Chain A
Amino acid sequence: MTYTPSTLQQQREDAKRRASRRSTAIALLSTLIFGALLTAIVVNAQGFTAVRESFFNWHYAQKAFPRIFDGILLNLRVLFIAEFFVLIFGLALAIARTTTSPVLYPLRLVATIYTDIFRGMPLLLVLFLVGLGIPGLRLSYVPNSAVFLGTVALVLTYSAYVAEVIRAGIEGVNPTQRQAARALGLSHTQTLRHVVLPQAFRNVTPPLLNDLVSLQKDSGLISVLGAVDAIRAAGIETAQSFNFTPYVVAGGLFVLLTIPLTRYTDWLIRRQDRAQKAQGVF
């Protein structure tokens, strides 16, 4: 159905448009001024030319790029494998922690201790303990590669983070949902699988994605064990040229990698907000 808006409404729309044009103009202007100021300060700093030379040198950037690019491919591989196992272990830990049966108390206890330890311990320390400690045990059946051990350390730590997020999601599902499912005759497992977990994951997708963004970035830390990832590759290039540009290149690549995921997270949060408003839940 179409209708002609009243003059009152037209005036209101005009006023809205004017206001929105004005705020865009102000935002643009203030960004320009701020940018100009910042540039002026940096460019006029005493050491500007030296810094530009050693951090933003185009020649070294080009030279280092292929190696760093190979490195970032390794980061990506590590990331995907780690993400896969983190989600599985995180989910298992979360389920273990949210059981209520008294028989499963030992399981709950172990899961709780695990998450407490690995959430509290700095990742760097876990990397060293796993990366240097496990080879020290001389277990012939455990691969000693830095990539493998680094991935294990990432999985150990991030499973604990992700478990806590998923657990919050599970506990956030209204108990009446569980009851309704049980009343229909669904078993414990069916209730968890078909009613609780889908809702839990939907509620915690944004924080879960945040953790995955962190994981993406922290995959660079496996370089401390000697794995030739993007950061290590940059380090090797820098050692040859005494120019820090390769690090900046690696950093830029990491940022580029995380941007899609962070934008997706933002979008998802906005969409959920809207859906919730449509439901009248605040």
Chain B
Amino acid sequence: MSHLLELKGVRKTFGENLVLNDISLNFAQGSATVIIGASGSGKSTLMRCINLLEELSDGQILLEGSDISAYGINLDSVRGKIGSVFQAFNLFPHLTVLENITLAPRLVQGKSKEDATLQAISLLKRFGLEDKADAYPNLLSGGQQQRVAILRAIATEPKVLLLDEVTSALDPVLIAEVLSLIAELKADGITMIISTHEMGFAKRIADSVVFLSGGVVCESGSPQEIFDSPKSPELRTFLAALHDAGRL
């Protein structure tokens, strides 16, 4: 199977600080990859490198075989193919829910207002948010905001969806709302890269799990391999700490 997205020897430094060191990973079409790791291990940085919000210090990123990290590439057109959702929902406060979702389809893909609106409404309907279409983000609950942010990210039908700790700012009930939406998208066959601290969810949704530690891929494999038979001492320590904290 050819890979939709490939990272080859990706490095990222902030000044002296080597945050990602020689990361090579493959992401298959339609797969869900969960990235776990302690705080500061570089999960967010990896995501931000993939959607080109950070410039690589070394290595390559290939999307459908073409190098999107090449110098001089049109960043805007690449970013349009990669959907990103952040921990802080970052909805546009001056736009309604509907306008938030239709903005990129209209501006980036050149869709007509009618088409973009129809598509957005059907997305909102599917996920039970149609009555919020004309609301401004500040009037929504956190879970609703995050779900809208995810719909906004998939409205342009990206090839890959990056979800960076999208539930960290939410309480348990709202987390469940968001996770069930993600599970539905996974069933749709959207390729996803997810960083999360929700290990139960990671086990359920992941096709493969990547454990980052100190900026390197310490261990990767199926959820069973990672959670049930961890090999590296780092992963064992990490899982033990989660276990003690009651999060596993």
How far, in whole Å, are A278 and B138 apart by their CA atoms in the complex?
Answer: 8
Chain A, Cβ-Cβ closest to B91: A180
Q: Could you list 6 examples of A-B contacts with CB < 8 Å?
A: A179-B86, A180-B84, A180-B90, A180-B91, A184-B80, A185-B76
Q: Knowing A184-B152, A184-B156, A185-B156 touch, does A176 contact B88 (C-beta < 8 A)?
A: yes
Chain A, Cβ-Cβ closest to B92: A195
Chain B residues at the A interface, C-beta cutoff of 8 Å:
51, 53, 75-77, 79-84, 86, 88, 90-94, 103-104, 107-108, 138, 152-153, 156
Chain A residues within 8 Å of B81, by CB: 185
How far, in whole Å, are A275 and B94 apart by their CA atoms in the complex?
Answer: 12
Chain A residues within 8 Å of B80, by CB: 184-185
Chain B residues within 8 Å of A1, by CB: none
The answer on a CB contact under 8 Å between A184 and B79 is yes
Is A204's beta carbon under 8 Å from chain B?
no
How far, in whole Å, are A176 and B82 apart by their CA atoms in the complex?
Answer: 17
Is A11's beta carbon under 8 Å from chain B?
no
Give A171 Cβ to nearest chain B Cβ, in Å. Answer: 17
How far, in whole Å, are A184 and B156 apart by their CA atoms in the complex?
Answer: 8
Is A23's beta carbon under 8 Å from chain B?
no
Q: Knowing A176-B88, A194-B103, A278-B138 touch, does A182 contact B79 (C-beta < 8 A)?
A: yes
Interface size on A, residues (CB 8 A): 20
What's the A-B contact tally at a CB cutoff of 8 Å? 62
The answer on a CB contact under 8 Å between B94 and A202 is yes
Chain B residues within 8 Å of A28, by CB: none
Q: What does DSSP make chain A's interface, helix, strand, loop or mixed?
A: helix
Chain B residues within 8 Å of A185, by CB: 76-77, 79-81, 104, 108, 156
Mark interface residues in A166-190 (1 if CB within 8 Å of B CB, else 0): 0000000000110111111111001
Is A262's beta carbon under 8 Å from chain B?
no
Chain B residues within 8 Å of A182, by CB: 53, 75-76, 79
Is A144's beta carbon under 8 Å from chain B?
no
Chain A residues within 8 Å of B103, by CB: 184, 186, 194
Chain A residues within 8 Å of B108, by CB: 184-186, 190
Give B211 Cβ to nearest chain A Cβ, in Å. Answer: 25
Chain A residues within 8 Å of B75, by CB: 182
How far, in whole Å, are A7 and B211 apart by their CA atoms in the complex?
Answer: 62
How far, in whole Å, are A177 and B86 apart by their CA atoms in the complex?
Answer: 11
Is A199's beta carbon under 8 Å from chain B?
yes
Is A260's beta carbon under 8 Å from chain B?
no
Is A226's beta carbon under 8 Å from chain B?
no
Chain B, Cβ-Cβ closest to A195: B92
Give A8 Cβ to nearest chain B Cβ, in Å. Answer: 32
